[in-house]
Amino acid sequence: MRGNVEAKGFGILRIAFGLVWLVDAYFKWSPGFSSNFVSYLQNGAQGQPLIVAWWIHFWINAVNIDPYFFAIVVAVAETAIALSLIFGIFSRIAIYGGIAMAFVIWSTAEGFGGPYVPGSTDIGASVIYILVFIALLLSESWKEYSIARWINRKIQS
């Protein structure tokens, strides 16, 4: 019985986390995001140690090729992750994609949570997102409250 309660709890967590990603994706579709996309990365590079600044500038140079395209890719990816988590379809792919996306955000726009100087008080939100994704993966959260589970039941009956 306890295992079933925990599985349902992780299913609910997956859906709630998907709703968080859906809100974030909504903001990514706003015109302000695409027009300020490069500046978000530039802000992440300020005050960083040399190696971190180099990494962020690598991404700035890549994004500057076509900032609008990269902004759309981010919006589409966040929307796909959100819908996958909410409905429990392609969950493993979404979780791995979410880990990758959260890492890129954390290591660029959030500057690995830096700058690492006296007085810094935050490591950034995206690292927490990575940990939630890992919990969803390890708990196999897609086994409860998901379209995939419903489809599997229909196929087996």
Tens digits of residue pLDDT in 22-55: 999 999 999 999 999 999 899 888 888 888 889 9
Measured at the CA of 27, the angle between CA 25 and CA 30, to 5 degrees, comes to: 115
pTM score of the predicted model: 0.89
Instruction: Write phi, then psi, for 32 (nearest 5 degrees).
Output: -60, -35
Alpha helix segments (H runs only) across 64-146: 67-87, 91-107, 126-138
pLDDT grade, residue 113 (50/70/90)?
Answer: confident
The two tokens of residue 107 are 């290591």
Distance CA 21, CA 136 (A): 14
Ramachandran region, residue 117 (left: φ > 0; alpha: ψ -120 to 50; beta: rest)? beta
Q: What is the pLDDT of residues 68-108, one digit of tens each?
A: 999 999 999 999 999 999 999 999 999 999 999 999 999 99
The DSSP symbol for 115 reads: -
Residue 119: how many other CB atoms lie within 10 Å: 5
